[in-house]
Structure 1
Amino acid sequence: MARILIIEDEAELAELVALNVVREGHEVVIALSGEEGLEKVDAEDFDLVILDLMMPGLTGFEVCRGLRRAEKSARIPIIMVTACSSEADRVSGLEAGADDYVVKPFSIRELMLRIRAKLQIKQKETVEPTRYHIGQLIVDTERHQIIADHREINLTITEFKLLTCLIRSAGRVLSRDNLLNDVWGDSSEIDHRTIDSYVTRLRTKLGDVGDMVQTIRGFGYKLEQLNQ
């Protein structure tokens, strides 16, 4: 059983989602504003957050960034739910730290499947190593820390997830579809060009160490230690 927080200012929609989440065997807490949501995360422990984007007061973007800044909630999966369907809004939500993005009106069944997928990924991550060290690159998933060539690197949550996915499979080639599923889940809003864009930004931030992220033409990427 997981504890799930729903941050949604529409009470009826929040109750509908909560009812279905409880039917899945999980415990649910509802917050009707962004401010209340942040307070509840600070006071309680949750395994996943369902977050509305357009709310009075703090917006979903602001709440999402607040959750990612706090050490306690930095790694909680966040599914953003919103009526905003433009590509710019979707990208902004993902860059703010959301793990997935569902557009209203949405199918309850689809939302439940996405919740299930995120909880499975979270459960898998809890039994894996938390520190990876290859060449001049260190990734500490517990501390959310990246060291590249003795420099601490700041990454967005999505860039961090992408690098973690690559280093966990170091030496193995990962297809773009593998990365799409592991980093963005079932999101239909992300395509291969978006993945390529994130890889380019990741390499730039890592500097010379970024050369370890190698392109496998026509297929995907792999992370491998460079020959010294």
Structure 2
Amino acid sequence: MAEQCILVVEDEAAIRDMLSFTLTAANYKVIEAPNAEQGWKLLLEHQPDCVLLDWMLPGVSGISLAQRIRQNDQTATTPIIMLTARGEENDQVQGFESGADDYVVKPFSPRALVARVKALLRRQSPEKSTLDLIKTGPLKLDLSSYRFTVNDEEVKLGPTEFKLMQFFMTHSNRVYTRVQLLDQVWGENVVVEERTVDVHIRRLRKLLDPVGAADYIQTVRGAGYRFSVD
């Protein structure tokens, strides 16, 4: 397997050095940027497998860079882990809504961060034990090319939304609680707030709305979510 590349966008040199050392020891290639402008340039040049992005950057913020990454076709599916000292629930929701796939609050354990990177990259590369092509109504999800289409029109999904859609399309017409979705999509060993599910569901619906598929994901009040094309 080719060496995976991680882009670290962090203005504090000591934290960049720590992340570079930890990730290199875990057999990742690491490239670094001290601000959003250089981070964007390296992102386009190297197409990394994952971005570790500090929220509080000088000049352009990490939130703004995350939004730019999601809005560009070339980078829209790049996994993003937001690094920040802002641990309040509203801050986490803002981070996820900006396009982040995971959110790590400083100070953090380097080993725990590596585990989050590995878990996110696993979501980026679905298990090949499933069918390469999943079809449900007008929806097609191709695991081999990592493409998702509705009525043959491609919809760009981030890694978490892709994994969430994969789960929904293979488990339709059944209600799943937020906890069940966290275990199935994020993994049982990843600790995130239940509200994270709501944020990603909202993001997924927003992506599906222009192609008329947002209503396939239904909220079941007091229970959770159900996916159905019927």
Q: Normalised by the size of structure 2, how large is the TM-score? A: 0.76
- Name the counterpart of 1:47: 49
Segments of structure 2 that go 5 or more residues without pairing to the other structure are: none
Q: Normalised by the size of structure 1, how large is the TM-score? A: 0.77
What CA distance in whole angstroms lies between the structure 2 residues aligned with 1:26 and 1:207? 37
Given the alignment, which residue of 85, 88, 91 partners 2:93? 91
Contact 2:79–2:120 under 8 Å retained in 1:
yes
Question: How far did 1:182 drift?
Answer: 5.0
> Secondary structure at the residue paired with 1:94?
helix
Question: How far did 1:170 drift?
Answer: 3.5
With 130-139 and 65-74 compared, the bigger mean Cα shift is at: 130-139
- Name the counterpart of 2:228: 224
Partner letter of residue 53 of structure 1?
W
> Secondary structure at the residue paired with 1:29?
strand
> Secondary structure at the residue paired with 1:30?
strand
Paired positions, count = 223
Contact 2:139–2:148 under 8 Å retained in 1:
no
Contact 1:49–1:77 under 8 Å retained in 2:
yes
- Name the counterpart of 2:168: 166
What CA distance in whole angstroms lies between the structure 2 residues aligned with 1:117 and 1:13? 21
Given the alignment, which residue of 208, 214, 217 partners 1:213? 217
Question: How far did 1:12 drift?
Answer: 0.9
Pairwise CA RMSD of aligned residues? 3.6
- CA pair 20-58 structure 1, distance change in 2 beyond 3 A: same
Contact 2:5–2:29 under 8 Å retained in 1:
yes
Contact 1:171–1:224 under 8 Å retained in 2:
yes
- CA pair 171-52 structure 1, distance change in 2 beyond 3 A: same
What CA distance in whole angstroms lies between the structure 1 residues aligned with 2:30 and 2:153? 41
Question: How far did 1:223 drift?
Answer: 2.3
- CA pair 5-151 structure 1, distance change in 2 beyond 3 A: closer
**1:38-77 equivalence runs, <5 A:** 38-77=40-79
**1:129-140 equivalence runs, <5 A:** 132-138=134-140
Percent identity between the two aligned chains: 35
- Name the counterpart of 1:147: 150
